[in-house]
Amino acid sequence: MKNSKLKGWLYLLPAIIFLGIFMVYPLVDVFVYAFQEGFNFASQTYKGVGWFNFDYVLRDPYFLQAVKNTFILVIITVPVSTGLALLISLGLNSIKPLKNLFQTVYFLPYVTNTLAVGLVFMILFKKTAYTDGLVNLIINWFGSESIDFIDGPYWAKMFVMCFYTVWVVMPFKILILTSALASVKQDYYNAAKIDGTSKGRIFRRITLPMISPMIFYLVITGFIGAFKAYSDEVAIFGTDLNVAGMNTIVGYVYDMLYGDSGGYPSYASAAALILFVIVLTITVINLMVSRKNVHY
Amino acid sequence: MKVVLDHLTKRFPNRTKGEPDVIAVNDFTFEIPDGKLIGLLGPSGCGKSTCLNLISGLEKPTSGRVWFGDTDVTELEPENRGVGLVFQNYALYPHLTVRQNIMFPLQNLKGADKLTKEEMLRRSDEAAKMVQIENLKDRKPAQMSGGQQQRVAIARALVKMPRVLLLDEPLSNLDARLRLQTREEIRRIQRETGITTIFVTHDQEEAMSISDEIVVMKLGVLQQIGKPQEVYNDPVNLFVAQFLGTPAINTFTGEVINEKIYIGEEAVLPAPGVPNQNVWVGIRPEGFVLDENGPFTLDLTRVEIMGRDTSVVATHPFAQSPSVRAIISSENEVDADAARIRFSLKPKKVFIFEAESELRIRF
């Protein structure tokens, strides 16, 4: 008995060592930095211990802007992308011809490089000396003025941001949902059909409950992913997100560490911890909601 | 409700391109009288389930018609046919409780048929009572045994008072003891409700025990219809003879010469009026009579005494199966150490079939 326990630990050892060095230790470090006032990497010194860093970060207009941006992004993109993915999956699931082709097409964004996609979005939306971009051409055609989506008003930039995010995260959701839909046994639908169940009721009372665990999984990972948004913003608006007013919380953390005005690991750590608390809260709320609505 | 199948055919396109279509149901014509329990019987892949799906409307026939009473329902969608269907794996909605499952069909009713909440509860309670699961109403399917799930599935099919009840292999997921119990239950429910019921099975014992009539199928082709005992006593061909009965009928290659049936060198039975030809000889296990001077000799393998009956296991060079089984009353004393054993045969338990067509030759 004792011997087998020892063996178990031995098998776990490589994983524990790696996780310890690359995950647990940095996490502890972040926690420590967050409470050290004015920590300096080079000299490894700090002035004091306390809530000072949080105080600073929470008053920093750049951080508040980043929080606002992130929340807008999360609140818009998670429901929209999940809903659209569900619609597309339902469509994919109900067609026979060309199903595989469409599945591949819808999955393409997932394997495409973020920066390449960003470039395409630039072509679609960016105003240059030569052209106002494809989308503006369409807007002009309908008789409206061109809008500068990349350097223009906040709502326009936010629209591009959300559009982009939805487009990037959707393939994975479609993939998961199509397989979830395909795994609902035909017998349930046959039984419902025999009993004269309407299409809407079949969807609400059978399909949706059956795939609810997968939807829930997508919502949770969707929330977490959206809260961690950063690289997509860089792909569209460049590295100076604060100037563009499109920074996110993770972007703020990065800027505090390595940005032009960076070198403040304490502020960065404090911001990261705040993000952690936000994500944790949202996830716990999600879990509580799901316990009521997700079946088996 | 009388159910009539009229030249019903269902072809499926072959999955491999260029191969001919698969004919699952081939030119089916028969009538199911009102209020009867009918067993559709055949080996797997013989088109039983397709036939059931054609009746339920889940599949549309390639040609032919389906009638419920005087109504042609061929073009009707399943929900408009008024059928209840119990699936092989029950297809209970796992996220709904037993009561919700049973009420599901009632909640679908629209317009003039719409029921009040009380009426739905009353009818679902009634259906639950019918299958004796009143005390399980708040459970989820996963919290119940296979037999209980089966009952819920039947209650769900019955609750909307269907004109025809269809059961697809209703007992195949149950253990042996439960199977016996449930088939009696199905019989009882059918009697109580008087609903025309069609059930599909590959288990001949199951079909014979509870059906008013059985329909034997093979490769999409109807072989024989009739009361179970009639079909058993008077099979039209070798397939039906072999498919019905446990233990199975013993089949031998034989020959009719001068109006006598020969198996090997031995003339086992007279066959008046049958011309000389090669035949299959089928002998029911209960058709053997222990007889020291009998015409039919077998090489004895062993004797199994099972209370009321004695089962004699033997071999014969012309038998189609490795062993021949004869069942005789255990009042007979069989010398288990003997090398050979002799029988005479009961003429009614011996069938002969044409060698090529395997059709029955009556004599």
- Domains, chain A, in order of start with CATH, read 1-50 (no CATH), 60-293 (1.10.3720.10)
Sequence-ordered list of residues with C-beta below 8 angstroms from that of A229, at least 6 positions apart, any chain: A70, A73, A165, A248, A250
Average pLDDT, chain A: 86
Residue A93: what pLDDT?
87
Q: How confident is the model at residue A48 (pLDDT cuts 50, 70, 90)?
A: confident
Please tell me the predicted confidence (pLDDT) of residue B212.
Answer: 92
Chain A residues 13-42 with CB within 8 Å of chain B: none
What's the whole-number mean pLDDT along residues B216-232?
90
What is the distance between the alpha carbons of residues A205 and A190, in angstroms, rounded to a whole number?
Answer: 14
Position A296 scores a pLDDT of: 55
Which residues in chain B have their CB less than 8 angstroms from residue A201's CB? 107-108
**Picking from A145-149, A258-262, B248-252, B348-352, which range would have the lowest pLDDT averaged per residue?**
A258-262
Answer yes or no: are the C-beta atoms of B314 and B328 closer than 8 Å. Answer: no
Among A14-28, A144-158, A262-276, where is mean pLDDT lowest?
A144-158
Which of B264, B298, B259 is closest to B275 using CA atoms?
A: B259
A204 touching B (Cβ < 8 Å): no
Please give the structure tokens belonging to residue A294: 């997700």
- Residue A295, pLDDT score: 66
Higher pLDDT, B330 or A12: A12
**Exposed/middle/buried for B36, CB within 10 Å: 0-12, 13-18, 19+?**
middle
B208 has pLDDT over 70: yes
pLDDT in tens, B82-107: 888 998 888 899 888 899 899 998 88
Instruction: Note the pLDDT of residue A20.
Output: 94
User: Is 70 exceeded by the pLDDT of residue A1?
Assistant: no
Largest CA distance in chain A: 80
List of chain A residues whose C-beta atoms are within 8 Å of the C-beta of residue B156? 191, 195
C-alpha B336/C-alpha B360 separation (Å) is 35
Question: Residue A186's closest chain B neighbor by CA?
Answer: B91
Kindly state whether B247 is in contact with chain A, defined as any CB-CB distance less than 8 angstroms: no
Instruction: Quickly list DSSP for B142-190.
Output: GGS-HHHHHHHHHHHHHTT--SEEEEESTTTTS-HHHHHHHHHHHHHHH
Using the predicted structure, report yes or no on whether residue A273 has a pLDDT greater than 90: yes
Query: Residue B85 and residue A201: Cβ atoms within 8 Å?
Result: no
Cβ <8 Å between A188 and B142 = no
Is residue A135 scored above 70 in pLDDT? yes
* Chain B residues lying within 8 Å of A197, measured CB to CB: 79, 104, 108
pLDDT tens track for B40-85: 988 888 888 888 889 988 888 998 898 898 889 888 888 888 888 9
Q: Using one digit for the tens of pLDDT, what is the confidence trace for B122-152? A: 888 888 888 888 888 888 988 888 888 888 9
Span B279-303, pLDDT tens digits: 999 999 999 988 888 888 899 998 8
Contacts of B78 in chain A (CB under 8 A): 193-194, 196
Out of B79, B94, B140, closest to residue A194 by CB? B79
Share of chain B above pLDDT 70, in %: 100
- Please give the model's pTM, rounded to 2 decimal places: 0.78
**How is the beta sheet containing B164-168 ordered, strand by strand?**
B83-86, B164-168, B196-201, B37-41, B213-218, B221-226
Buried b (16+ CB within 10 A) or exposed e, B331-343: eeebeeeeeebbb
| Predicted pLDDT of residue A281 | 93
Does residue A131 sit in helix, strand or coil?
Answer: coil
Distance from CA of B98 to the nearest CA of A (A): 15
Q: What are the φ/ψ torsions at residue A192 (nearest 5 degrees)?
A: -65, -35
Q: Is the pLDDT assigned to residue A244 strictly greater than 90?
A: no
DSSP code, position A206: I
Type of residue numbered B131: V
CB contact under 8 A, B95 and A295: yes
* Total Cβ atoms within 10 A of residue B318: 16
Q: Which residues of A touch B85 (CB under 8 A)?
A: 190-191, 194
pLDDT at site A132: 78
Q: How confident is the model at residue B252 (pLDDT cuts 50, 70, 90)?
A: very high
Q: How confident is the model at residue A73 (pLDDT cuts 50, 70, 90)?
A: very high
